[in-house]
Structure formats: C-alpha cells, structure tokens
Structure 1
Amino acid sequence: MQPGWFSKPVVVSVGVAGATRHLSNTQQAIELLTTHWRDAGSLKHQSALRACRQATSGDVPPDIAREALIEAAREAHILVE
C-alpha cells in the first residue's frame, strides 16, 4: 500500500488546543480519521475513511479521497478554509 498524494494539502484543526495539521496524503488522513476524529462514525467520516483506504490501494484517485476528507472535516467543524 502506497500513500496517495493529494494535489493540495487539506488543512484541519485538531485537539483541544486546535493544532493545525496539513494532510498531504491518504496515509496521514487515515491516521487522523482513525485516531483523532471528533465525529467518528458519521456517514461522511465513514465515507472519507473508505475513500482514503481505496486510494491507498490504488482503486480510486487520491483527489476523490481528498474531497471526501474535506466533506468529513467540514461536517466535524475542523476544516481550515
């Protein structure tokens, strides 16, 4: 499995202090989605996790996963726009 690199990083604010993270690939996104996600289990969270795993396997383009990640981050109110 290879990380799928995004065309542009996704910037999110995580943790109690709101630390900013720049997610550049699907591996980084999977790590965040599985360990530090506020609304884990929501439909958009599940969709983003599935898309990132598929992109890591080469089944979908990384930017499809990026868009799903953006939607999940927006829903969780952690997307930095």
Structure 2
Amino acid sequence: MERGHWNRPVTYEEDDQGGYRTITSTEEAARALLLAWPVDEGKEYFAAQRICLAVLEGRQAPELAREAFLKAAAEAGVFVRDQ
C-alpha cells in the first residue's frame, strides 16, 4: 500500500468555476497545498504542510494528514463535498 493513502478521499472545489478535485493520499494533498492552494498563509495551512511531510517521512499516520487538509480547507474557505 502506498504510504500516505487515505481510507476516505476528500473532494474539494479547486477553482471558482466549479472544478472539483478528489484527493486520495497525503502525497496528493501535499501537492495541492504547495502548488494549487488558493492561499499561501494561515495557521492550518502551515500545519497541514508540516503534517503531510511527517506522514510522507513515515512519522505520522495518514489520517492525520487528511484531518489537517480538511482544517486547512475550512480556514481557506474552500468548499469540501460532504464527507
């Protein structure tokens, strides 16, 4: 199994034109946060980056990255479909 794989994916609105993206792993979440996130600041945003790195290094459980990603989305006002 891929390190960082999530048991429950997260689907979020990635742009203001109704485009959605589904994240299924910590690696995908890290890429979204670093390359395509609508903000580049915030407590939850930076926490999510740190937790994703820890998961990818094998120091944390993947579900912690999922939770952190959802908190970062809430902080940034990113719409997430029902979980």
Partner of 1:54: 54
Q: How far apart in 2 are the matches of 1:3 and 1:28?
A: 11
- Asked if residue 42 in structure 1 is aligned to residue 63 in structure 2, the reply is no
Partner of 2:12: 12
CA shift, 1:16, in A, is: 3.2
Could you tell me whether the CA contact under 8 Å between 1:51 and 1:60 is conserved in 2?
A: yes
Q: Taking structure 1 as the reference length, what is the TM-score of the superposition? A: 0.89
Partner of 1:64: 64
Q: How far apart in 2 are the matches of 1:3 and 1:32?
A: 17
Unaligned 5+ segments in structure 2 are none
Could you list the per-position Cα deviations for residues 9-53 of structure 1 after superposition, in whole angstroms to 9, with x for gaps in the alignment?
Answer: 011101232311110001110110001111221110000111111
CA shift, 1:80, in A, is: 2.3
Q: Taking structure 2 as the reference length, what is the TM-score of the superposition? A: 0.87
Partner of 1:32: 32
Q: How far apart in 1 are the matches of 2:9 and 2:29?
A: 10
Q: How far apart in 2 are the matches of 1:34 and 1:56?
A: 14
Provide the identity percentage.
28
- The verdict on how the C-alpha distance between 1:8 and 1:46 changes in structure 2, with shifts beyond 3 A counting, is same
Q: How far apart in 2 are the matches of 1:40 and 1:3?
A: 26
Q: How far apart in 1 are the matches of 2:40 and 2:11?
A: 18
